[in-house]
């Protein structure tokens, strides 16, 4: 009952901001963390670790419960999923929601979609989930080099799988990751999406 009450509270909060011009009908969750903090949930352990794969901020049961519940209410779930493990858990939860509530629910969104296992890439089209990408980060930088030092070569190869997801029928969008980055970063993101190069020309090479 306590968990159900929490979802009711979250769903009801959107009504505080509703007006004739604004109809907020989505809830964002941070289902996992980030690669630099080794808190993004991966399917395989981090480099140098025998077991640690990161973690989610909710249990698997809670993730399924909230996605099914909000889907039933017609509220879109926007899920921060950086790691391949979090991506799979979210897609699994949407699959349960489609089975329980019917296939015609809201188009839920996966924010960042940084690492998606090849076995899961076709599921965006199958489950009508939108992958949101953040290409403002996709160029050689200290952050990217740090990512490479924390992940295995195989994990790095799975990073930012835009083309494979689109080829499998998915329909994606890009975002700025504001307020972590400037909102005008959308223009930088367009450039790095295409070039994978440092937009300021300070670092050579391509990602």
What is the mean pLDDT of the segment spanning 141-169?
Answer: 87
Per the model's pLDDT, the better-predicted residue between 174 and 8 turns out to be 174
What is the mean pLDDT of the segment spanning 99-121?
Answer: 95
**For all residues of the chain together, what is the average pLDDT?**
89
Q: pLDDT band at residue 4, thresholds of 50, 70 and 90?
A: low
Give the range with max mean pLDDT: 46-50, 127-131, 141-145, 182-186. Answer: 127-131
Q: What per-residue confidence (pLDDT) applies to 143?
A: 75
What is the mean pLDDT of the segment spanning 91-108?
Answer: 96
pTM score, two decimals? 0.89
What is the mean pLDDT of the segment spanning 130-143?
Answer: 85
Count of Cβ atoms closer than 10 Å to residue 78 Cβ: 15
Q: CA 44 to CA 53: how far, in whole Å?
A: 6
Structure tokens at 122: 């076709």
Per the model's pLDDT, the better-predicted residue between 129 and 20 turns out to be 129
Per the model's pLDDT, the better-predicted residue between 46 and 139 turns out to be 46
Single out the residue of 100, 107, 116 nearest to residue 43, CA to CA.
116
Per the model's pLDDT, the better-predicted residue between 205 and 189 turns out to be 189
Single out the residue of 125, 49, 40, 44 nearest to residue 83, CA to CA.
40
Q: What per-residue confidence (pLDDT) applies to 157?
A: 82
Count of Cβ atoms closer than 10 Å to residue 61 Cβ: 10
- Percent of the chain predicted with pLDDT > 90: 57
What is the mean pLDDT of the segment spanning 131-158?
Answer: 85
Q: pLDDT band at residue 1, thresholds of 50, 70 and 90?
A: very low
Show Cβ contacts of residue 191 under 8 Å, excluding neighbours closer than 6 positions. 199
Q: pLDDT band at residue 150, thresholds of 50, 70 and 90?
A: very high
Q: Is the pLDDT of residue 132 over 80?
A: yes
The C-alpha angle with vertex 149 and arms to 144 and 153, in degrees rounded to 5, equals 90
What is the mean pLDDT of the segment spanning 124-128?
Answer: 97
């Amino acid at each position: 009952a306590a968990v159900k009450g929490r979802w009711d509270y979250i769903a009801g909060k959107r009504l505080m901001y509703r007006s004739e011009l604004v109809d907020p009908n989505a809830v964002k969750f941070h289902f996992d963390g980030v690669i630099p903090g080794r808190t993004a949930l991966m399917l395989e352990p981090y480099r140098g670790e025998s077991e640690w794969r990161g973690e989610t901020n909710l249990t698997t049961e809670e993730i399924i419960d909230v996605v099914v519940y909000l889907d039933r209410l017609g509220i879109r779930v926007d899920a921060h999923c950086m790691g391949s493990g979090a991506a799979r858990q979210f897609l699994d939860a949407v699959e349960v929601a489609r089975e329980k509530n019917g296939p015609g629910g809201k188009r839920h969104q996966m924010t960042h979609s940084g690492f998606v296992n090849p076995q899961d890439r076709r599921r965006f089209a199958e489950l009508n989930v939108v992958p949101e990408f953040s290409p403002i980060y996709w160029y050689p930088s200290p952050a990217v080099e740090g990512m490479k030092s924390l992940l295995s070569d195989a994990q790095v190869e799975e990073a930012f799988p835009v083309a494979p997801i689109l080829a499998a029928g998915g329909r994606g969008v890009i975002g700025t990751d504001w307020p972590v980055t400037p909102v005008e970063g959308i223009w930088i993101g367009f450039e790095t999406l295409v070039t994978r190069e440092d937009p300021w020309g300070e670092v050579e090479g391509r990602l």
